[in-house]
A and B are shown apart, each in its own frame.
Chain A
Amino acid sequence: DAGITQSPRHKVTETGTPVTLRCHQTENHRYMYWYRQDPGHGLRLIHYSYGVKDTDKGEVSDGYSVSRSKTEDFLLTLESATSSQTSVYFCAISESGRGNQETQYFGPGTRLLVL
Chain B
Amino acid sequence: GQQVMQIPQYQHVQEGEDFTTYCNSSTTLSNIQWYKQRPGGHPVFLIQLVKSGEVKKQKRLTFQFGEAKKNSSLHITATQTTDVGTYFCAGGDRGSTLGRLYFGRGTQLTVWP
Contact = CB atoms under 8 A, between A and B. Distances in A.
B94 to A, nearest CB: 9
A106 B44 contact: yes
Interface residues of B, number: 26
B103 A101 contact: no
A94 B99 contact: yes
Contact of B45 (A56, A103, A109): A103
Contacts of A109: 42
A31 B45 CA distance: 16
Nearest to A108: B42
Q: How large is the interface on A (under 10, 10 to 19, 20 to 34, 35 or more residues)?
A: 20 to 34
Interface stretch (A10-18, A39-47, A67-75): A39-47
Interface in B9-55: 9, 30-31, 33, 35, 42-45, 48, 50
Given A40-B9, A42-B88, A42-B106, A100 B44 contact: no
B42 A99 contact: no
B106 A99 contact: no
B99 A99 contact: yes
A105 B103 contact: no
A105 B45 contact: yes
B50 A101 contact: yes
Contact of B101 (A56, A100, A107): A100
15 contacts: A33-B100, A40-B9, A41-B105, A42-B106, A43-B106, A48-B99, A56-B98, A90-B43, A99-B97, A100-B92, A100-B96, A100-B99, A101-B48, A105-B45, A108-B42
Given A43-B103, A100-B92, 5 more contacts: A99-B97, A100-B30, A100-B31, A100-B99, A109-B42
Interface of A: 30-31, 33, 35, 40-45, 48, 50, 56, 58, 90, 92, 94, 96, 99-109
